[in-house]
Structure 1
Amino acid sequence: MALARGLVSNIAFEQAIGNFAFSLYNKVPKDGNEVLSPYSITTALLMLMLGTDGTTKNQMMSSMYLHTLPTNVHFNYKRLELKLTRKAKKGASLLVANRLYGSNAFSSYKDKVRRYYGSAMKLMDFTGQREKSRKSINDWIAGKTNNKIKNVIKKKMIDASTALVLVNAIYFKGSWDAKFDQTKTKRETFRVSQHVRKQVYMMNAIYNVKSGRNTALNCKILQLHYSGKRLSMIFILPNDANGLKKLESKLSLNTFKNILGGLRTQKTVIKVPKFKIETGYDLIPILKARGMTNIFNRRLANFKNMANVNRSLYVSTAVHKAFIEVNEEGTEAPRSTVVLPKRGGKKDFFQFTANHPFIFAIRDNLTGTIIFMGRVVNP
């Protein structure tokens, strides 16, 4: 009976962080190409939540859709992370690494973070060695992300008032289950906007994959698996070349599940551009828009479960940086194996031609967790 309750509660937890993933994407300012890792942001916030109490904690729980869960959300997270990272699949791997930088004043909090999030604490002198501290943190992040995420902590972010720096790094590398033939990649026209067109390298293939249409969202959908088929990338393409914003306004966890549920395996002519995106965000306005305000307020923030210190603790900086590259081999894939598409008449095949702005997501197929999410406007 206890096992059944635990299973149900973890499903509820996975759904909650799924809702939070889409709410984060909806709040991100969108000017062009975008990529973020909702899972990475969620992990950092949950680590922070361990030190909160009172209204501050309740705000965080509510903003992240966790307030109705009857069980320990940190235990739920640990169970989810084990599902995601315990058995690395050949050709697709996911690394999640957490670390705290601070003083011995945080010893009890440090132990709780280690228990649930596997985080070590490194002692830092933020007062006397600000630049050395900043470089050390940035070097650790770069090392955990294959040197793709650099310079997250900018100059002047760390000063004499800094008490604790909490870092979450996430790195994903995947090879397509069925790779694109590099010799078939060619320059084709991509419609950036109503008046702007450009030539981009478009990958081409014909595969038996999951694809389909959704009339309610007026879009086409393509799902491509990574090697091992545990993780996949979903492309959501509005039928209207100028319909990206309208599509985004309708996107939620429920609509996302609906469009995936309507896919079927069929021969599909695939045209998808190669792209590389790196973006950085100030999370403070994004999280405030979700109702998470107390943690940033010196007077109202309640971090009494974090440390016994003679000063008020609050969050002064919250940044997120993400990188993604998609090519014929997959996402950040180094090998060169090529699988040729099957032959056959194209006229009866489903056509998926991403020659105008679209949305993408990298998803764990077992739990439904959104690892990365973004949009391509200008490949």
Structure 2
Amino acid sequence: MDRPEADGITLGVEEEYLLLDVKTGMPAPRAGEVQAAADLEPVLDAGEVDDELLQAQVEVATPICTGLAEVDGHLRRLRGAVAGAALRAGCRPAATGGLPLRSTGIMPVTEKQRYLDMRDDAARLVDEQLINGMHIHVAVPDRHAGAAALGRLRPWLPVLVALGANSPFWDGRDTGFASWRTVVFGRWPVSGSPPYTADAATYEQRVDALVDTGVIRGRREVYWHARLSERYPTLEIRATDVQLDAGSAVTLAGLGRALVATGLREAAEGVAALDPPGSVLHAAGWHAARHGLAADLVDPVRGTPAKAADVVGELLAYTMPALEEYGDAGRVAEGLARLLDGGTGAARQRRAVAEGGAAALLDLIALAPAG
């Protein structure tokens, strides 16, 4: 396997937002109205605002990007334009991983057959899917290389869960978790950290075996924290909540690309993969969702507790050659320092509630219109 060139590894980011009524802060099933209003936004292209499982959510996706400055520009453009479109529909898009205030209604499912099938299969679970994530797509040369990279970034996924935690509140209560979204998603039959894969054949066998059980309807219901995309030639990292601000999202996107690039390089050079037991990764992921960066994390290399700052520093050192190759080292290091010093989105949400109650929380998580 040839070592991939740095300039050949592009990336893109998808973000999901919760639509909240401007007056009440309650979930607002107005995705169709927001999409229609988005057509009036001059900086948005047709189809850039997409629907999601529930009608109180929308999703955006950047174009394919070559660098973090490009990702940053598109995320700020998309966030501002969606906020403007949502205001015309009487709601605000919220960059939070979970439903903040208590809701008394059930949100309607988007009228797509796939989503209707999901409601038939898991009605109550679908009702509780008012959760929003961030997905990082990193280009891989082929599925063989992608599967090998997936096996190597797998031990670090709980650390990404901790860094990206931004859903402490659910239905009007503090859950005690930093990423309640991770817990909700963990109730689907195929979720959490993926099994180890060394090559495409192993990956395809594992996914085929899951589909063959009949428990899931198809490959798109493989909701691991990272997976090979079935739509694009990418490795898709799905471990993090949507971020409060574009800067944090860019930090995680840069770190995600560096993890994939490092995995591709190690596979090409025959470096032995770190392969912790699935049970350890499950526990580490749960712990990361529980605490974010506010407690020790499980060190992926040793499988023992370590200070969050030390584990994040170890991840930064592990990915540093790739970060330097892309010119991202300074930007990502500064972004990680901000998360360690200022707290994750979850910590910032809790501070907002402590200082200003629900109103301050809604102001924090709501996207601001451009200009």
Please state which band the TM-score falls in when normalised by the shorter chain.
under 0.3
Question: TM-score, with normalisation over the residues of structure 1?
Answer: 0.22
- Determine which structure has the larger helix proportion and give its number: 2
> Larger relative contact order (C-alpha < 8 A, sep ≥ 6)?
1
- Determine which structure has the larger strand proportion and give its number: 1
